Structure 1
């Protein structure tokens, strides 16, 4: 005999909807721990990657202790992450096939980590190959955070998730920059391909961290902006110029590898502290939303009142179309595009129809998560395309100016600072953009520099 079921009622459906909301928030709180531990492992592996790069490039003369400490830090975090992976197989976790597949890929990398470390121990690979191997594993971990954040989108905390994803990606760009730059300095010889990788990594960091700053809260944004003006950031910029301005195959001071690693590590640690704080804010947000949803469950009458006062948006369109007192226009648009159209557009469309038609209800946090996600993605893609174009322009300008400085240094014997000041002074004297002056400098024929006196650094 089939089990008796509870009688269907409006209140039962509404209360069940709110309970599902609570379940979703609880799942997100659990995923926040997964994000946290994944971030911890990324941070540890980033340090191991950088130390391994220096250790291999210096033929085992530097950073053996730093590398060993990084491995000791990573081991317990790796074990904790494996435990969290196992929990995703438990009933009720509702992990997607894509998430489980990505976890499996990461697990393959973690299983191979011991052999990778052994290969580094016996100098069985180059510094560059070690950077590539560690970066592949870290890339999977970063993608895991992105996927968890995307799958767990909730209107009330979506901005923090967007900020977190871009902060993680920016931090990984900083970690790769540390490893590649450390390899260059420790090796003692400039390589053009590695130079270009540093430039691209700088650009990627700026792009991701700018999006992070736009989506994070005011307090974190202010803290990040203070970091940008810190003495450590100024030292990093000087070391970046040393790498980016050096001619291919030029000799680099290998002693600067320690300074580079230390300065980059300070910046990565600062970004990591922002990430730890952001994850804690995410957890706090989840807890507040869960408590608010619990309060709603205790007020069933108010939930029913909200349901009656906020009918589906399409019901307004149907009411207007079937109103016998008005001339019908086009049939109601039930497409997805109409649902994700901005509220202002829908309102203006309603205003152009019969007078007195009710305006569509404004979007609320309870609107369809799919539609909200589509709208957010549309806005984000448009913004990111604009940012990408701006980043490409900035990268192009950086390259042109660095090449112009290099030409002045090579042809006139200027130091880097003097060459840059010469470009700046010409820009101000002629009221032209620095980029235009740099391009004009590069277009000068060789004889223009013939016989020109070398500029002294103090000029």
Structure 2
């Protein structure tokens, strides 16, 4: 017990390096988990779109495509289950929130079997089928968001935040593909489906704006390529046709396949950026692990050398009091201005060097942690801000019956009207009472004015 209570400075230096290495290894494991999640999300998005056309066409279209993508999604779901199981290990450092979300995702994955069986029988509505797939995908994206929130390296945290918002763009684009395909396959324009379609286009733009705040400059061309690809012009023409169609207008059902192919190409273009982000994420994790290992090796080596070569002054004191003989002079550390004997001066320099080495190690560790904490705080603040804005949108949606798009526009308008940050408006919205919120339905600018008596 005494040994454990009497640790040296060098022990703490080495332990700090060990913990840093462990943190990087945990991040690498989560990066691998993110890659599996991304692949499964892509497969489920494809299955959702194919299932939408299959149901909307009464089973006449996309039966083979739906069966094919199910065969692709199942092994990915099993790989995800295996990765989740590894996170239950006590050494994984997964948070309670992450593990809880994994549990919900597994429940939703279990529901896919019955859903697929029902779709094969053409039993559920298009909306119910899309909702079932979308619920699973939403849980997976939420998990990536939590992984980003728990990252301990600023560069990796930034990549994860970028990836989260790219996944949100892709999911809105995937839902747009499914809604548009089912709308065309039905052959008649539905007002509800058309409104959803427009909201999904706006959602892609909002998530894209946040993505651009975080994306690395050298990865930006991948985003630009996806936005400006030759396929985009055709996508916009098809979008315009669906947005401008009148309610109950007859649509060309044969265009559902064309729409599905064009919107799938957009998802593929976005997938290029996703692959680049995932590769960068894994490369950064491996580089961070290599650097942490090198730091640990350097620190351990230096500590071992210091332990094997204790202070020369201490050695001189041992010799002085040894029964084997006494040196010519008392071993006294040379102070500034002293003219110490050559031997003692050498010992003093060596002792000073030893202390300086430990001080340098401690200072390097302190400076590195301080810089990392500052950069990480910025990334986490942005994540927090997005959470507040999403909560404010949710409050308007649940209390006033607004759509997500209308809630976001109301917050934006209030911010512009009062020259405030969107975050400030969101925080004020969450502080309002139900009565004050009801008043904002007529005037969104009131969102920045707390009700009387509201703290």
TM-score (norm 1): 0.69
Q: Deviations over 1:316-363 (max 9, x none)?
A: xxxxxxxxxxxxxxxxxxxxxxxxxxxxxxxxxxxxxxxxxxxxx999
Among 353, 367, 375, the alignment partner of 2:373 is 367
Q: CA 1:88–1:390 in 2, change beyond 3 Å: closer, same or farther?
A: closer
- Matched residues in 2 for 1:382 and 1:113: separation? 31
Query: Following TM superposition, by how much is the alpha carbon of 1:82 offset from its aligned partner in structure 2, in angstroms?
Result: 1.0
User: What is the correspondence of 1:34-433 to structure 2 with a 5 Å cutoff?
Assistant: 34-300=33-299, 304-306=358-360, 309=363, 364-367=370-373, 371-372=377-378, 375-377=381-383, 392=409
Q: Deviations over 1:352-408 (max 9, x none)?
A: xxxxxxxxx9994333787455544467679999xx999739999xxxxxxxxxxxx
Query: Following TM superposition, by how much is the alpha carbon of 1:52 offset from its aligned partner in structure 2, in angstroms?
Result: 0.4
Contact kept? 1:174, 1:205, Cα under 8 Å: yes
Contact kept? 1:155, 1:365, Cα under 8 Å: no
Contact kept? 2:165, 2:208, Cα under 8 Å: yes
Instruction: Pick which of 31-40 and 218-227 moved more.
Output: 218-227
- Matched residues in 2 for 1:255 and 1:9: separation? 76
RMSD over aligned CA atoms reads: 3.0
Q: CA 1:89–1:165 in 2, change beyond 3 Å: closer, same or farther?
A: same
Unaligned stretches of 5+ residues in structure 1:
313-360, 397-459
The answer to whether residue 28 in structure 2 is matched with residue 29 in structure 1 is yes
1:247 aligns to what SS in structure 2?
coil
- Matched residues in 2 for 1:217 and 1:303: separation? 37
Q: CA 1:380–1:86 in 2, change beyond 3 Å: closer, same or farther?
A: closer
Contact kept? 2:144, 2:160, Cα under 8 Å: no
What's the counterpart of residue 309 of structure 2? none
TM-score (norm 2): 0.70
- Matched residues in 2 for 1:94 and 1:363: separation? 19
Query: Following TM superposition, by how much is the alpha carbon of 1:293 offset from its aligned partner in structure 2, in angstroms?
Result: 1.7
Q: Deviations over 1:116-160 (max 9, x none)?
A: 001001111111211111111111111111112212242232221
Contact kept? 1:296, 1:303, Cα under 8 Å: no
User: What is the correspondence of 1:433-444 to structure 2 with a 5 Å cutoff?
Assistant: none
Q: Deviations over 1:88-118 (max 9, x none)?
A: 1223112222111111111111112111001
Instruction: Pick which of 240-249 and 94-103 moved more.
Output: 94-103
- Matched residues in 2 for 1:78 and 1:308: separation? 45
Q: Deviations over 1:401-426 (max 9, x none)?
A: xxxxxxxxxxxxxxxxxxxxxxxxxx
Pick the structure with more helix per residue.
2
Query: Following TM superposition, by how much is the alpha carbon of 1:211 offset from its aligned partner in structure 2, in angstroms?
Result: 2.0
1:123 aligns to what SS in structure 2?
coil
- Matched residues in 1 for 2:363 and 2:219: separation? 38
What's the counterpart of residue 422 of structure 2? none
What's the counterpart of residue 10 of structure 1? 9
Q: CA 1:376–1:185 in 2, change beyond 3 Å: closer, same or farther?
A: closer
Contact kept? 2:153, 2:376, Cα under 8 Å: no
Q: CA 1:381–1:395 in 2, change beyond 3 Å: closer, same or farther?
A: closer
